[in-house]
């Protein structure tokens, strides 16, 4: 998990400077970058929509189906924080749809 609170907030503040009407879409995780981003949105009064995996309906495929659901709204862009294969799946699918993907790395945004 990516837990660099200050750098995540800074990256999201920069996005908001360019897109003041932004809506934060995230996976609703109770920890890591998604939780930090949700706290940022709450603090900054930014509308947020959580796309949580439906484990009961989709079992092990739930996070991948969640990715599809999130991308179905065609976001303007995607910030990818270090994570798992599920995160990489989201980034790959976004690129195929022509959605810009920005990688947040441990050494810089």
pLDDT (tens digit per residue) in 27-73: 999 999 999 999 999 999 999 999 999 999 999 999 999 999 999 99
Q: According to the model, what pLDDT value does residue 104 have?
A: 86
Measure the CA–CA gap between 41 and 47, rounded to whole angstroms: 7
Measure the CA–CA gap between 92 and 32, rounded to whole angstroms: 21
Q: According to the model, what pLDDT value does residue 109 have?
A: 46
Tell me the mean pLDDT in the region 94-101.
98
Find the helix or strand (DSSP H, E) in which 71 lies.
helix 62-71
What is the rounded radius of gyration, in angstroms, for the C-alpha atoms of the chain? 13
Confidence (pTM): 0.89
Domain ranges of the chain: 5-103
Considering Cα of 82, then 66, then 50, then 18, what sign does the dihedral take? positive
Q: Nearest-CA neighbor of 64 among 80, 53, 56, 74?
A: 53
CATH class of 5-103: alpha beta
Measure the CA–CA gap between 104 and 7, rounded to whole angstroms: 9
Helical segments of 1-109, H only: 5-18, 32-44, 55-58, 62-71, 85-96
């Amino acid at each position: 998990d990516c837990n660099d609170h200050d750098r995540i907030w800074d990256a999201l503040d920069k996005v908001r400077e360019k897109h003041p009407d932004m809506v934060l879409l995230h996976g609703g995780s109770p920890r890591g970058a998604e939780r930090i981003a949700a706290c940022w949105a709450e603090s900054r009064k930014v509308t947020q929509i959580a796309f949580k995996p439906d484990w009961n309906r989709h079992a092990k495929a739930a996070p991948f189906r969640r990715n599809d659901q999130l991308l179905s709204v065609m976001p303007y862009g995607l910030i990818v924080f270090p994570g798992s294969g599920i995160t990489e799946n989201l980034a790959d699918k976004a690129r195929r749809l022509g959605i810009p993907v920005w990688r947040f790395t441990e050494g810089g945004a």
